[in-house]
Amino acid sequence: MKKELYIHIGAHKTGTTALQFFLSDNYSLLLQKNLLYPQCFRSNDNITDTRFDAYRKGHHHLGWHFMQNKKVFKKNFSFSDALRREMDATHTSRVVLSSEVFEEEPEQLDQKWKAIANAFSDFDIKIIFYIRRQDEFIVSAYSTILVNHPTFKGTVADLARKYLNGEKLVPINASIDYFDKLQTLSKFVGKPNIVVKVMEKEQMPGGLFADFLGIFQLPLTNDLVIPDRGKSNQSYTEEMLDVLRILKNVYGHEKFEQFVARLPRNSLGKPNMLNYRKRKEILEQYKESNAKLAKEYLNRSNGELFLGKLNKEETNRTFFEGITKRKLARILGDLALQQK
């Protein structure tokens, strides 16, 4: 009988980094609950390319290895054998891998997942896929893309237009047409083996970690360590994002990166930079696709995927129009004080 291999593929901006810290930090405790978060794919003993050591909480090296034939692991390394050895040594029968890289590069998704399915053909593969309402995704992705993309210097409205036109920008090189992506993945694991979870408070009242453990019929007990918020990907306030956008246009990406590294903690926040009309436009584009996903993967006959509603009170709200002189002065003052 094949043993279960769960592959958590994101999506991006659904708390994936926090989950990877949670799984890694609770490695030993989860073993006691018959759930293995493998170390063999995160170990220097097996990996030849150590440029990405900062990403060791997740299994990103596996995704990179199967993408474009990038050989990250040592020659003749057997993924299946290594995993079985760790399972035998830890006496576990359930495994979970986690990396957003597994959902990236839409044009290579077929090739990547064919290779993954072949590498773990003696396991019963199941996919875990968390999704987020597309307008919320774009707002959250804006901070990551503005800070990390070497050439993007636009506003959140510019980013929304790019997604509506089907463009994707690194480091989040992934489509937000979730149904289309799942149709590709289902060819390799089958629809019944895809677990779709919706990241919104209405659909996971116990929070992300409890929701994730629920997939394995495990409770979120007090002995499990919850990672602090500083270990997850942070966003910035609307005002700080506007300062960053201006600085990137003025100084270029290299000097801009040095500035970002020295930002004060009080610049973090939850931006809301899209008005009702733009959010509705985004959701209208994915309305049919989202309804298909709800019906075919969640068995919801009404086709309702997301339960959270748009705030119509923001109908006349404009896009974020830029930072005021007073708030700019406060930010610059905080930065100056930080240098003392």
Average pLDDT, the chain: 86
* pLDDT at 168 (0 to 100): 80
| pLDDT tens-digit series, residues 204-239 | 999 999 999 999 999 999 999 999 865 566 678 787
* pLDDT at 44 (0 to 100): 63
Query: Beta partners for 47?
Result: 73
Report the percent of the chain where pLDDT is more than 70: 84
State the pLDDT confidence band at 45, using cuts at 50, 70 and 90: low
Q: Is the pLDDT of residue 317 over 60?
A: no
Q: Is the pLDDT of residue 70 over 70?
A: no
Distance CA 172, CA 146 (A): 11
Distance CA 16, CA 9 (A): 8
Report the percent of the chain where pLDDT is more than 90: 52
Residues 6+ positions from 257 with CB-CB distance below 8 Å: 147
Distance CA 223, CA 202 (A): 26
* pLDDT at 30 (0 to 100): 98
More confident residue, 274 or 46: 274
Residue 275 DSSP symbol: -
- Cα distances from 273 to residues 139, 237, 241, 318, 334, in angstroms, run 7, 10, 10, 9, 23
In this predicted structure, which of 19-33, 251-265, 275-289, 325-339 has the lowest mean pLDDT?
325-339
How would you class 111 by CB atoms within 10 Å of its CB: exposed for 0-12, middle for 13-18, buried for 19 or more? middle
* pLDDT at 191 (0 to 100): 97
* pLDDT at 8 (0 to 100): 98
Domain boundaries, the chain: 3-133+175-227
Query: Beta partners for 198?
Result: 131
More confident residue, 77 or 183: 183
* pLDDT at 234 (0 to 100): 65
Long-range contacts of 298-304 (CB under 8 A, 24+ apart): 298/196, 298/198
Q: Is the pLDDT of residue 297 over 60?
A: yes
- Do residues 113 and 184 make contact, with C-beta atoms less than 8 angstroms apart? yes
Q: Which candidate, 245, 237, 308, places its Cα nearest to that of 272?
A: 237
Distance CA 273, CA 234 (A): 16
State the pLDDT confidence band at 255, using cuts at 50, 70 and 90: confident
* pLDDT at 77 (0 to 100): 79
* pLDDT at 264 (0 to 100): 63
| pLDDT tens-digit series, residues 231-241 | 566 678 787 88
* pLDDT at 339 (0 to 100): 59
* pLDDT at 316 (0 to 100): 57
CATH 3.40.50 given to domain 3-133+175-227: yes
The single residue listed with the structure tokens 């610049």 is: 267
Distance CA 127, CA 79 (A): 18
